[in-house]
Structure 1
Amino acid sequence: MKRLILIISAFLLLSASTFGQSLFGNASKIADAQEKLEYNAFTAYPVPLTGNFLERKLIYDWTKRWNVPDTVCYVYIFIGSSCIGYFVTHGKPASTQSYLLPEYLVYSSSSEGRQSPDVDGTYGTNNPGYRFFLANGTAVECSGTMVSCVYSDAPLSLSAVEIKSVKSK
């Protein structure tokens, strides 16, 4: 019985090493084939040099537009596919997933890290959603997995009613 186990073990070891050699041999052939394919694709259709950086211009213009303090913004709130109303805000909305501090501190000597507290000293993640200030200073947060928003610096042609706050002091 011990002899049979020894023979089977030797057979499995030999099979595994042969399989590994053929696998690595094939990996080299596959890499060569991929390089040839890539060369042929780039030769047939080289990457064109462009002069119109339209996406970069859009990001630039977007950043400049929203970098103006006290911008009036219209935030339309959707639950599912239904627009339930809109708010006139003081500035654009921010994601509830945005933070002033990094969520994790990563040590440079390793890829390990630890969770960082938020500015209020608490840990954890926020619900997905948006937060913003109304023109009268009222703070609003819309959160939940079904809530989404569309915002603009001008009113949009959506059938929605303005949601106003009643701020008392």
Structure 2
Amino acid sequence: MKLNTLAPHSPLHSYRHQTDASNGTQGSRVSLNGDWQFQLFSSPESVPESVLDMVFSTKINAVVEGNGEISWLAMPVPSNWQLHDQVNDNPIYTNIKYPFPDTPPFVPIDNPTGCYRHCFEWQPTDMNESMRIVFEGGNSACHVWCNGQWIGYSQD
């Protein structure tokens, strides 16, 4: 299931000019790798509304929720949150059988949900140019917001 996504395709990269292709440089590509702000919740239902609405306080490392603040961890991207000491979650990778009941469409109550956020600036070289964001590791499901505006969803 997906909304506002491109059709699946081979992971080829395009180049604006032949010289860029020859040099292997992608002038219009911006990497978002690095530290992102991260928060882990026990399930999608436990994510506070303020996180979904992206109501930011004046502090870059907190989001306002009622009368308190939620602390955000620095999480390197790309990576798996289960492999970081500051997060209490277990990897579920298996090639034998699922470590939870496989009863679609019912989802287990314990369904860890990570929320990431990241600030960046993009200066288009051409105002008619479209912008795409590529997540090469969204696991299970992924909602995307930009400037507080929901822009898409994908799941595997």
User: Which TM-score band applies after superposition, normalised by the shorter structure?
Assistant: under 0.3
Bigger relative CO (Cα 8 Å, ≥ 6 apart): 2
Larger Rg: 1
Larger helix percent: 1
With normalisation by structure 2, the TM-score equals 0.25
With normalisation by structure 1, the TM-score equals 0.23
